[in-house]
Amino acid sequence: MANSYGAIPQDPDASSASAKRESSFNHKPLIVLGITLVAGLGLIIRSGYFFDSAGTSPPPDALTDSIVAPTDPAKHWPAGLFKIGGILPSVAPPMPAPQEIPTDTINAATKGWVKIDKPCNPLLGEEWLYGGERSLNISASVYFTPEVGDVAGVLSAIEVQYYGYIEENLVGTYFSEAKPSKDGWYHTLPIALRDGKAEDLCDTDTPVTPENSPYMVISPGMANKIVPPTKDSPELISDWKEGACIQGMGFHWATDVETGPNLTYKAENMVPIVPMYSSVDRTINGIFFMATSRKQNWPEGCPGKPFAPCAAPGLNMWDGSPGLTQVNAPHFYMCSNFCGDCQFTGAEDGMFTTMHWFFKNTFSGPDQEKCDGSNGYNPYCRSGKYPAMVASP
């Protein structure tokens, strides 16, 4: 079946003007959530405005005056963390504005994040939750190294809590065993941003070393799946498959737990984290966590469009849409992140959900992701091969 992207240039180097003339009406709407974010964020980002992770100024007694910035904070990786998509409940008004998530414990404490009273995890660090209480409405946490004396701890991991359906075959490798909460059982999926085997992420005597290199491992202690830091990494090229480049995000790469880069497009086989890389310097822009079912608390009767005001209270940090369809049909479908013969099967309710996190501001400034070479196509596949479309789900 011919796809409905319009005329796709077979030569990636075809002129921008030619590509735009050939593009059909149906091409531009067939986009993943991230493209809607780009459009919705244009005015906000050009003005240089960002919400902080709480959306309001903290009360004076929330400030941690006795703690100073970590040693050489600009040398710690990542220097920034941006949450794109789902919003934290206190952010008002609801809109698709990037939230700058704290990367040290000073900012975390002043922006509504609270360290959880539980032992430090040597492979992740100390867990912090927004508001201090685990719930279905706050489906992610961040980890920091301990504060040492008057020196703040630094970002060491991100973790997402999956309530409801997960792929059971991935429990014990990518997902944790089930854990209880006031809102029901959940499974966790962490990605470590520092190497707990090379340094003590729970050291309360000596601050962690600055000038750490980019490091990403999915589910340390279980799958231990390395996410390469650059697009040129031999490990990425040999074990992952390149997908589409989406403006504001970058080139998506995915891998299969059974077949590696030869994707089966079966929900139960997908490694549930997808990295995105810069089209310019080829370094990692960010990641998204993938769920093979709907995760938003989408209200009944609320329009199925991104960032609908009636859905804002239930966005629970997953991206601000009712999800991506398993079927390749407009406007928001999972295969818009991929290229070629992409057709997913096995999603629990025919839907996928994503949660994006970025290590750079890829929506404006020097790191803005424009998918260089895309010739106006968004999403853009360097191969010129796009997923086949159907008329409707």
pLDDT band, very low/low/confident/very high, at 31 (cuts 50, 70, 90): very low
Q: How buried is residue 165: exposed, middle or buried, by Cβ count under 10 Å (0-12/13-18/19+)?
A: middle
Chain segment 252-265, per-residue pLDDT in tens: 999 999 999 999 99
Q: What one-character-per-residue DSSP string does 144-155 give?
A: EPPPBTTBPPBE
Please say if the pLDDT value at position 90 is more than 70: no
Instruction: Average the pLDDT over 348-355 and give the result.
Output: 96
> Given the structure tokens 């990494």, which residue do they identify?
233
Torsion (CA) 363, 234, 217, 365 in degrees, nearest 10:
-10
Please say if the pLDDT value at position 60 is more than 80: no
Cα–Cα distances (Å) from 303 to 83, 96, 136, 294, 389, in that order, read 23, 16, 22, 15, 23
Cα–Cα distances (Å) from 77 to 140, 209, 250, 350, in that order, read 20, 11, 19, 37
What is the rounded CA–CA span in Å between residue 138 and residue 53?
12
Q: How many CB atoms lie within 10 A of CB 311?
A: 21
Please say if the pLDDT value at position 29 is more than 50: no
Q: How is residue 107 written in tokens?
A: 């900012």
Nearest to 90 by CA among 52, 50, 140, 42: 52
Within 50-192, residue ranges assigned H as helices are 105-110
Q: The whole model's pTM is what?
A: 0.83
Chain segment 136-158, per-residue pLDDT in tens: 988 999 999 999 999 999 999 99
Please say if the pLDDT value at position 267 is more than 50: yes
> Given the structure tokens 């539980």, which residue do they identify?
118
What is the rounded CA–CA span in Å between residue 108 and residue 388?
44
| 51 vs 151, residue with greater confidence | 151
Where along the chain do its domains lie?
Answer: 16-367
